[in-house]
Amino acid sequence: QMPRGNLETIHPRALVLSAVRKYLDSLEFGQAFVCMRKHRLNLNLIYDHCPQSFLDNVQKFVQQVKLVDYINLFLTDLREEDCTVTMYTAAYNRSAPVVDEGTNRPSKVDKVCEVVRQALVSEDEKKYLLSILTSYVRKSTPELEAALLMVKTLRAMPSDQQTMSAEEVLKYLVFLVDVNEMFDVALGTYDFDLVLMVAEKSQKDPKEYIPFLNKLRKLEGHFQLYTIDEHLKRYSNALGHISKCGPEHFETCKTLIQKHKLYTEALQLFPVSSEEYKSIAKLYGDYLSDKRRHLEAGIIYLNAEEWERALQDFQVCLQWRQVFCMTARLKYSCDTEADIARKLAEQMKMKKQYLDAAHVLEQYAKDTEEAIVCLIDGCLWEEALRMMYKYGRTDFIETHLMEALTENYNQQMETLENCKSEFDKYKKRLAVVREEKEKARLEFLESGGAGNFADADLFSDTSSATGESIQSSRYSSESARSGRSSLYSKSSGSSVKNRRKAEHKRWKLKEGSQFEDFALIAALAKLIKMVDDMRDEMNALLRVLLQFHQYKQAADIQRAYDRLLTQMDRGIPEIWQDSEEGKESQPMLGPMTTANSIAQAVQRGQSLEHSQEKLDPVIRIPPTLRKEVSWKLHVLDSGSSKT
């Protein structure tokens, strides 16, 4: 180009931009490109100006821009950011789109590379070879292997069909990408010639890589591939190869699996019940057992047909059904089985799984007496009676059941009384605390006015949970003691741990503490849940009391429980007020209100809304009583209404 006069060089950016936009609008990509290049505009604009138009007309873009170098320039200049938002804001006045951090939206660069490559291939694959390579390399995760395979294809062609030599192309590639990375990718194609070609372009010392490559060359088939993948840290692939290397390499395979925890993948590579499969399952079982994931360890040991080890793990997590599947499989003697049963039952009793423990004692320890005692301990009255009748041991009714029944009755009565007094106490205190808070808030509003929203938060019951653990209620343990075991009892310790953790983040019940109201609500929720959960055991107790002629006790405890439930049901709307100011805000509009009172009311409503969003569900959501679980005996009801 010829040198030009000074005047000609004045090109205000805004005018240039305007011209470029016109070119782009009329799909004159060539003109636009030349102009942008001359005035060093960001080439991303070609796409960002109107992404859909570019995508629709990418073929035209390639045809107009034409030159390989230009297209390479465009591709290498691509950035994820939208330059109409970041750089040319004045011209576009577009606002940045709302980006969800969570969702993986497709990369702009990847999208453009992909469509440009397709256009190039359909235009002239040979001519645009370098551009095509660039489009591979520029992707957010560069497709180096695809690029290298192109080099390989090129090398395989007769030289008269080549527009460029493989050497040249490789040189260009190495210019774009770190050569060491390229070396690994080449190695990953398992093509030693390609590796050598790349290696020659690198700064690597041939004394290093030649022996390495020679060593690899000497290895055979799958083991060679395994070694390469292992070297490249592609462990999944390595596992695939080594698994095909036969029994002589199985030890290596096992080491690989253990080192990189590829157990589940490995199990899918060998036929079920093959020696290898079992061996891997055993390793996996060992691993899980070590990690104290006993239930899963047990199941995996089953896959390994390692019955004894499975037995041990199932024993630890009290999976009694599985335990006795194992003892049967292992053909243990009755005595051994009985020993295991007795130990297991002891542990199950400690976990309150009385029903299952009793079955274990009955069926495997063959100890009817212990089984009956266990059922009575668990307050499983009807099952206890059934077993007594089954084995003709109704003498236990007098010797054990009646006493336990009285004790359970007394204990439940006491629990109900304690719950009632606790409930009353917390509820009263909550009303006091709320009143105090409301007073403080109103005082603050009066003094500070309705203006300063930020400070108002101080009084708006907001703030996430802080403080130490709530005092652990003594009732939780009491209710558990008299509770019965669930059918399939979960024994994964993790859930217990989580629950405990959750309890730690609660607030303090101490009088006057900052979030005392929350602590009170949480404590009330716990009480309500606990009492509501007693429905089934209460029903069982009532039935057996009635069966043994104890009308009075049955009627008394039914009345006490019924009253407590009713009291709690009535208390719930009071404790979980939909909005604390509900009643006050009713005369918010009307002849008596002023602009100020309306504003205050509005602000009140608003701060409440904010805080509720952040609140723990315990505070926000009132518990629901399981009214659908019927527990009452109507026999007792009608009796009490008549006396």
Residues in contact with its own copies, counted by CB under 8 A, come to a total of 87
C-alpha dihedral (564, 566, 568, 569), degrees to nearest 10: 160
- Asked if 294 contacts 314 with a C-beta cutoff of 8 angstroms, the reply is yes
Place of tokens 């170098």: 69
Binding segment for its own copies (CB under 8 A), chosen from 116-124, 125-133, 135-143, 596-604, is 596-604
- Asked if 78 contacts 113 with a C-beta cutoff of 8 angstroms, the reply is yes
Q: Which of 336, 472, 498, 596 binds its own copies (CB under 8 A)?
A: 498
Contact string 289-328 vs its own copies (x = CB under 8 A) = ----x-xx--xx-xx---------------x-xx-xx--x
- Between CA 562 and CA 632 the distance in angstroms is 8
Retrieve residue 271's tokens: 């036929």
Residue placing its CB nearer to its own copies in the complex, 388 or 470 = 388
254's CB contacts (< 8 A; 6+ apart) are 279, 280, 283
Residues 469-488 touching its own copies, rule: CB under 8 A, are 484, 486-488
Q: Using the rule CB under 8 A, is 382 a contact of its own copies?
A: yes
Say which DSSP state 342 is in: H
Binding segment for its own copies (CB under 8 A), chosen from 150-158, 202-210, 224-232, 382-390, is 382-390
Binding segment for its own copies (CB under 8 A), chosen from 61-69, 202-210, 516-524, 626-634, is 626-634
Residue placing its CB nearer to its own copies in the complex, 211 or 493 = 493
- Between CA 278 and CA 266 the distance in angstroms is 11
Q: Using the rule CB under 8 A, is 638 a contact of its own copies?
A: yes
Q: Using the rule CB under 8 A, is 546 a contact of its own copies?
A: yes
Binding segment for its own copies (CB under 8 A), chosen from 16-24, 103-111, 381-389, 472-480, is 381-389
611-620 burial, b if ≥16 CB within 10 A, otherwise e?
Answer: beeebbebbe
Q: From the CB of 502, what's the least distance to its own copies, in Å?
A: 8
Residue placing its CB nearer to its own copies in the complex, 109 or 555 = 555
Residue placing its CB nearer to its own copies in the complex, 402 or 588 = 588
Q: Using the rule CB under 8 A, is 574 a contact of its own copies?
A: no
Q: Using the rule CB under 8 A, is 351 a contact of its own copies?
A: no
Q: Using the rule CB under 8 A, is 543 a contact of its own copies?
A: yes
Q: Which of 8, 395, 446, 613 binds its own copies (CB under 8 A)?
A: 613
Pick from 593, 374, 562, 568: nearest CA to 485: 374
Retrieve residue 538's tokens: 């209460």
Q: From the CB of 602, what's the least distance to its own copies, in Å?
A: 5
Q: Using the rule CB under 8 A, is 595 a contact of its own copies?
A: yes
Retrieve residue 25's tokens: 């609008």
Say which DSSP state 96 is in: P
Q: From the CB of 346, what's the least distance to its own copies, in Å?
A: 20
Residue 390: is it exposed, middle or buried by C-beta count within 10 angstroms (0-12/13-18/19+)?
Answer: exposed
Q: Which of 492, 514, 566, 596 binds its own copies (CB under 8 A)?
A: 492
Q: Using the rule CB under 8 A, is 582 a contact of its own copies?
A: yes
Q: Which of 371, 540, 564, 568 binds its own copies (CB under 8 A)?
A: 540
Q: Using the rule CB under 8 A, is 343 a contact of its own copies?
A: no
Q: Using the rule CB under 8 A, is 551 a contact of its own copies?
A: yes
Q: Using the rule CB under 8 A, is 579 a contact of its own copies?
A: yes
Compute the chain's Rg from CA coordinates: 39
Q: Which of 490, 510, 559, 614 binds its own copies (CB under 8 A)?
A: 490
Q: Using the rule CB under 8 A, is 547 a contact of its own copies?
A: yes
- Between CA 161 and CA 592 the distance in angstroms is 95
- Between CA 85 and CA 94 the distance in angstroms is 6
Residue placing its CB nearer to its own copies in the complex, 107 or 585 = 585
Q: From the CB of 471, what's the least distance to its own copies, in Å?
A: 21
Q: Using the rule CB under 8 A, is 274 a contact of its own copies?
A: no
Binding segment for its own copies (CB under 8 A), chosen from 31-39, 116-124, 461-469, 622-630, is 622-630
438's CB contacts (< 8 A; 6+ apart) are 580
- Asked if 383 contacts 375 with a C-beta cutoff of 8 angstroms, the reply is yes
Cα 132 from chain centre: 40
Q: Using the rule CB under 8 A, is 521 a contact of its own copies?
A: no
Q: Using the rule CB under 8 A, is 338 a contact of its own copies?
A: no
- Between CA 356 and CA 349 the distance in angstroms is 9
Residues 54-83 touching its own copies, rule: CB under 8 A, are none
Q: From the CB of 200, what's the least distance to its own copies, in Å?
A: 36
Binding segment for its own copies (CB under 8 A), chosen from 113-121, 169-177, 428-436, 549-557, is 549-557
166-195 burial, b if ≥16 CB within 10 A, otherwise e?
Answer: beebbebbbebbebeebbbbbbbbebbebb
- Asked if 522 contacts 619 with a C-beta cutoff of 8 angstroms, the reply is yes
Place of tokens 């049967």: 328
Residue 237: is it exposed, middle or buried by C-beta count within 10 angstroms (0-12/13-18/19+)?
Answer: middle
Number of other CB atoms surrounding residue 569 within 10 Å: 14
Q: Using the rule CB under 8 A, is 186 a contact of its own copies?
A: no
- Between CA 362 and CA 367 the distance in angstroms is 5
- Asked if 194 contacts 228 with a C-beta cutoff of 8 angstroms, the reply is no
Binding segment for its own copies (CB under 8 A), chosen from 153-161, 189-197, 256-264, 432-440, is 256-264
Q: Using the rule CB under 8 A, is 578 a contact of its own copies?
A: yes
Q: From the CB of 26, what's the least distance to its own copies, in Å?
A: 40
- Asked if 424 contacts 431 with a C-beta cutoff of 8 angstroms, the reply is no
Residues 392-431 touching its own copies, rule: CB under 8 A, are 392
55's CB contacts (< 8 A; 6+ apart) are 111, 115
Residues 113-142 touching its own copies, rule: CB under 8 A, are none
Q: Which of 539, 567, 569, 616 binds its own copies (CB under 8 A)?
A: 539
Residue placing its CB nearer to its own copies in the complex, 144 or 544 = 544
Residue placing its CB nearer to its own copies in the complex, 35 or 397 = 397
Q: From the CB of 379, what's the least distance to its own copies, in Å?
A: 11
